[in-house]
Amino acid sequence: MRVLGISAYYHDSAAALIEDGVIVAAAQEERFTRRKHDPSFPQQAVKFCLSQGSGTPDAVVFYEKPLLKFERILSTVLAVAPAGFRAFAAAMPSWLQSKLWIPFQIEEALRQLGHDVAGKIHFSTHHQAHAASAFFPSPFQSAAFLTLDGVGEWTTTAFGVGDGNELTFLKQLRFPDSLGLLYSAFTYFCGFRVNSGEYKLMGLAPYGEPRYVDSIYRELIDLKPDGSFRLNQRYFGYLQGERMTNRRFAALFGGTARSAEAPLTRRECDLARSIQVVTEEIVLRIARTVQSTTGAENLCLAGGVALNCVANGRLLREGPFKRIWIQPAAGDAGGALGAALAYVYQQAKQPRHREARERFDEMKGAFLGPVSTDDEIAAVLNEHRLLEFAELIPESERAQRIAQLLANENVVGFYQGRAEFGPRALGARSILADARSTQMQRVLNLKIKFRESFRPFAPIVLAEKTGEYFELNIESPYMLLTAPVRTDRRLLKTNPPSANRSDDASTDLLTRVNEQRSDLPAITHVDFSARIQTVDHNVNPVLHAVLSAFEQQTGCAVLINTSFNVRGEPPVGHPRDAIAGFLETGMDALAIGGYLLEKKKLPPSLLAEVKPRSFALD
């Protein structure tokens, strides 16, 4: 049985293909179009996924029910009329032209690719897709599941039990009460882009103090002991559809929302910390309710809120579950995968043949995207007149050569194997650097990523050496858990509040970013935390070999791993994108397939032709 899953028309459009219960391929449209969070129909992602299969799909499943979603939008507009009419009118053309005609669009798109799927179009609900993506690829035969996001059709949070090939929903929270929308309201108010900048808010939080927590509980949210809540809609604008917050929200928090690119003030730092504290408390309360209701030892997570790795880390350390597993593509992209899985197991009733395993899931490390052969890479190098300067390194020598470059504080673009599915770079489309360097965070942010200086970088560590560096006793292959750096590696013993409490936080942020807090300064955040990716030999042998070689040369089994992109762009997809990123930024070397390029070995005349990289705001 071949089942194609599709998500589209909100953000992070994607496609995924399941054959006989095996995840064959999954990819986001943004990797092909170079448009970050591309919401359009995933024509190229569908084409790629079908190219990895063995024929026409038996079913195509869309990740939500458009008519039910349209009902929610229409009901909301009528409930707040006339306030929301202008936003509703602006949205109508896209609904009338495309979103209400999804079956016909799918049939036509696949017909153009040579596949007749007339009569084979199906739909899951949004949170059914999230739950399926969380449970079915997990290593558990039975587990509780919890999905949290902005909103699907009507649901914003749901939990239940997965057992074999069954999912049973037990409870849900409905729109407009949404943890995802609450967090996004603060994202918007702090000057970051909704559905894109939430991770920035999470990264900013440790620089602030939780001085707005009481105001949030008193005015914005009525939180119950079981984790359910009601939001006070007098402070929000998303029901009207024009903006996330309103004038009452601004008055409560001392003035208008920060505009994009304006200097960060102490207020934004404290707001970020405050909503992060509240979010973690809500997640913990809900998780306790899930466990007491289901009696389950294990928990599976999906939905956009499940990408909050700080909350996930607290849930692991303080929550009631023995183990948790988080879908690496937890947001809407993962809905494509979940929709297909939901059909396979719940509608087609296929058996879930799987031995109980303690370590590995069915996601193949999330390496489910396209791959480029050395011949294809050589052709692109030749297009750029680079082939004669690129070394084709024997496989037996590659890891040592790359590790040597990293040990000498070179920044290396790493384009290897199949691309990752989901928002994290996991060592296939990555930029690697030395975590021991006191200058590397600044260099990467300003000269290569072109992004805000306060943002931390994540470490990769040999899975078997994790406990030597971090207070984490399980593997974290998808960079979705935050844990503290071990106390014996810290150079500062406390993280006191900043002495500089002036309104302009910019100077203070720079000072604190550049503090050397541990013997791994480039990946240690101001609260001594790190967003950890553990690297297992069986899941990613190429990256494991580089880490092992780096440890042999330096005694350190940790490197920086950040996504291979610049600000405002998705991670690179085609070799052409990787080469452009290498040439147009301050990157020192590029390991692309079997080839190695070093910038210092390129002729000055060729580099002089390269235009400096510009970036879009994100």
3-state secondary structure 268-295: HHHHHHHHHHHHHHHHHHHHHHHHHHHC
Domains in the chain (CATH in brackets) are 374-608 (3.90.870.20)
Residue with token string 């996504």:
563
Q: What is the DSSP string of 162-179?
A: EETTEEEEEEEEETT--H
Residue 228 CA: distances (Å) to CA of 192, 219, 290, 496: 27, 16, 11, 33
Report the C-alpha gap between 225 and 587 in whole angstroms. Answer: 50
Supply 448's token pair.
């290569």
Supply 306's token pair.
């499940």
Nearest to 61 by CA among 27, 14, 10: 14
Average pLDDT along the chain, 618 residues, taken 10 residues at a time? 95 95 97 95 97 95 91 81 74 76 92 94 97 97 97 96 96 97 97 91 95 98 98 93 90 94 92 98 98 98 97 96 97 98 95 65 96 97 94 96 97 97 96 94 82 84 97 95 96 61 60 82 94 96 98 98 92 96 94 97 88 67
Report the C-alpha gap between 32 and 48 in whole angstroms. Answer: 10
3-state SS class at 122: strand
Beta bridge partner(s), residue 559: 434, 460
Note the pLDDT of residue 499: 46
Which secondary-structure segment (H or E) carries 144? Answer: strand 142-148
Contact 51, 78 (CB under 8 A): no
Note the pLDDT of residue 356: 47
Omega cis (within 30) before 82: yes
Report the C-alpha gap between 407 and 415 in whole angstroms. Answer: 19
Note the pLDDT of residue 503: 61
3-state SS class at 156: strand
- Residues 317, 320, 325, CA angle at the centre, nearest 5°? 70
Label residue 461 exposed, middle or buried (CB < 10 Å: 0-12, 13-18, 19+): buried
Report the C-alpha gap between 120 and 105 in whole angstroms. Answer: 13
Phi, psi values for residue 323, rounded to 5°: -140, 150
Count the neighbouring beta carbons within 10 Å of the beta carbon of residue 617: 8
Contact 441, 408 (CB under 8 A): no
Report the C-alpha gap between 393 and 412 in whole angstroms. Answer: 15
Nearest to 366 by CA among 420, 431, 306, 287: 420
What is the identity of the amino acid at 495? N
Note the pLDDT of residue 359: 60
DSSP letter for 470, please: B
Note the pLDDT of residue 493: 66
Angle between helix 541-554 and helix 395-407 axes, rounded to 10 deg? 50
Helices and strands in the chain: count of H runs, count of E runs: 20, 21
Report the C-alpha gap between 251 and 199 in whole angstroms. Answer: 25
For the CA atoms of 346, 125, 311, 145, what is the dihedral angle to 10 degrees? -20
Beta bridge partner(s), residue 420: 367
Q: Which residues contact 565 (CB under 8 A, 6 or more apart)?
A: 449, 571, 572, 581
3-state SS class at 339: helix
Note the pLDDT of residue 286: 98
Which secondary-structure segment (H or E) carries 127? Answer: helix 126-135
| Dmax (CA) of the chain | 68
Residue 198 CA: distances (Å) to CA of 3, 192, 194, 371, 560: 32, 7, 7, 30, 21
Omega cis (within 30) before 176: yes
Which regions of 334-490 does DSSP assign to beta strands (E)?
391-392, 412-415, 429-434, 458-462, 481-484
Nearest to 352 by CA among 134, 141, 167: 141
What distance, in Å, lies between the first and last C-alpha atoms of the chain? 40
Rg (CA), the chain: 24
Nearest to 522 by CA among 586, 458, 426, 452: 458
Label residue 601 exposed, middle or buried (CB < 10 Å: 0-12, 13-18, 19+): exposed
Report the C-alpha gap between 54 and 366 in whole angstroms. Answer: 21
